[in-house]
A and B are shown apart, each in its own frame.
Chain A
Amino acid sequence: MTKKTLTIDAKGKHYTPLNIEIRAAVKDGVKEIILDNINGQRFIANGLRGDDVTIIINGVPGGDLAMFMSGPTCIVHANAEHAPGNTMDSGKIFIHGTAGDAVAHSMRGGEVYVRDSIGYRGGIHMKAYKEKYPALVVGGGTRAFLGEYMAGGILLVLGRGTDTIPVDERGIGTGIHGGELFIRGEVPDHLLGIGAAKKPFTEDDREKIRPYIENYCREFDVDEPELFSDDYVHIGPSSARPFAGKYCW
Chain B
Amino acid sequence: MPIGSVPPKYKVTIDNDLCMLCERCIENCSYGAFRREGNKILINSRACTGCHRCVAMCPRDAIDLEEKPVDYRSHPIWSREAREAIYKQAESGKIILTGMGNTLEVPPIFDRLLLDACQVTNPSIDPLREPIELRTYIGKKPRKLEIKKNAQGDIDLVTKLAPNLKCETPIMIAHMSYGAISLNAQLSLARGASEMGTFMGTGEGGLHKSLYPYQNNMIVQIASGRFGVNIDYLERGAAIEIKIGQGAKPGIGGHLPGEKVDEEVSKTRMIPLYSDAISPAPHHDIYSIEDLSQLVRSLKEATEWKKPVFVKIAAVHNVVAIAAGIARSSADAVVIDGFRGGTGSAPRVFRDHVGIPIEAAIAAVDEKLNKQGIRNEISIIASGGIRDSADVTKAIALGADSVYIGTAALVSLGCRVCGSCYRGLCPWGIATQREELTSRIDPDIMYKNVSNLINGWTLEIAELMGAAGINSIESLRGNRDRLRGYMLDENILSVLDVKTVGAGA
Contact = CB atoms under 8 A, between A and B. Distances in A.
A240 B255 CA distance: 13
Contacts of B280: 125, 148-149, 175
Given A240-B276, A241-B258, 5 more contacts: A42-B297, A43-B301, A64-B294, A68-B229, A244-B257
Interface stretch (A127-135, A202-210, A212-220): A127-135
Interface stretch (B86-94, B309-317, B458-466): B86-94
A193 interface: no
The interface residues of chain B, by DSSP majority, are classed as mixed
Interface in B70-99: 88-89, 91-92, 94-98
A190 interface: no
Given A68-B302, A105-B285, A132-B270, A248 B231 contact: no
A15 B232 CA distance: 21
Nearest to A47: B302
Interface in A37-90: 42-43, 46-47, 49, 63-64, 67-70, 82-83, 86-87, 89
Given A243-B276, A244-B257, A249-B98, A16 B284 contact: no
B276 A64 contact: no
A248 B95 contact: yes
Range of interface residues on chain B?
35 or more
B298 A42 contact: yes
Contact of B97 (A102, A149, A175, A248): A248
Contacts of B98: 249
23 contacts: A42-B298, A43-B301, A46-B298, A64-B285, A67-B302, A70-B230, A86-B298, A87-B229, A102-B285, A105-B284, A124-B284, A125-B226, A175-B278, A177-B276, A177-B278, A178-B275, A243-B278, A244-B276, A246-B95, A247-B94, A247-B96, A248-B91, A248-B96
A86 B301 contact: no
B7 interface: no
A69 B234 CA distance: 12
B226 A108 contact: yes
Interface in A125-180: 125, 127-129, 132, 148-149, 151-152, 175, 177-178
Range of interface residues on chain A?
35 or more
A127 B225 CA distance: 10
Interface in A207-236: none
Nearest to A241: B276
Interface in A167-201: 175, 177-178
Contacts of B255: 243
Given A177-B276, A248-B94, A64 B298 contact: yes
A108 B275 contact: no
- Which 7 pairs from chain A and chain B are nearest by CB? A47-B302, A248-B92, A248-B94, A106-B226, A43-B301, A247-B97, A129-B270
Contacts of A102: 284-285
Nearest to B270: A129
Contact of B271 (A63, A69, A129, A245): A129
B166 interface: no
A248 B88 contact: yes
Interface in B286-345: 294-295, 297-298, 301-305
A121 interface: yes
Contacts of B257: 241, 244
B90 to A, nearest CB: 11
Nearest to B257: A244
A151 B274 CA distance: 12
Given A105-B284, A177-B278, A247-B95, A127 B298 contact: no
Contacts of B96: 247-249
Interface string B424-447: 000000000000000000000000
A19 interface: yes
A40 B229 CA distance: 26
Interface of A: 15-16, 19-20, 23, 42-43, 46-47, 49, 63-64, 67-70, 82-83, 86-87, 89, 102, 105-106, 108, 121, 124-125, 127-129, 132, 148-149, 151-152, 175, 177-178, 240-249
Contacts of A19: 301
A151 B271 contact: yes
B69 interface: no
Contacts, number: 129
Contacts of B92: 248
B97 A249 contact: yes
Contacts of A248: 88-89, 91-92, 94-97
Interface in B203-262: 224-226, 229-232, 234, 255, 257-258
B270 A240 contact: no
B199 interface: no
B100 to A, nearest CB: 13
Nearest to B348: A249
Contacts of B89: 248
A51 B275 CA distance: 29
Contacts of B108: none
A247 to B, nearest CB: 4
B292 to A, nearest CB: 12
A68 B297 contact: no
A223 to B, nearest CB: 35
A148 B284 contact: yes
B301 A16 contact: yes
A128 B302 CA distance: 22
A86 B275 contact: no
Given A125-B284, A248-B97, A177 B230 contact: no
Contacts of A46: 298, 301-302
B271 A127 contact: yes
Given A46-B298, A243-B276, A249 B422 contact: yes
B276 to A, nearest CB: 5
B342 to A, nearest CB: 16
B131 interface: no
B409 to A, nearest CB: 24
Contacts of A47: 231, 234, 301-303
Nearest to A108: B270
Contacts of B270: 108, 127, 129, 132
B51 to A, nearest CB: 15
Contacts of A86: 285, 298
A151 B279 CA distance: 11
B94 A246 contact: yes
Nearest to B423: A249
B231 A68 contact: yes
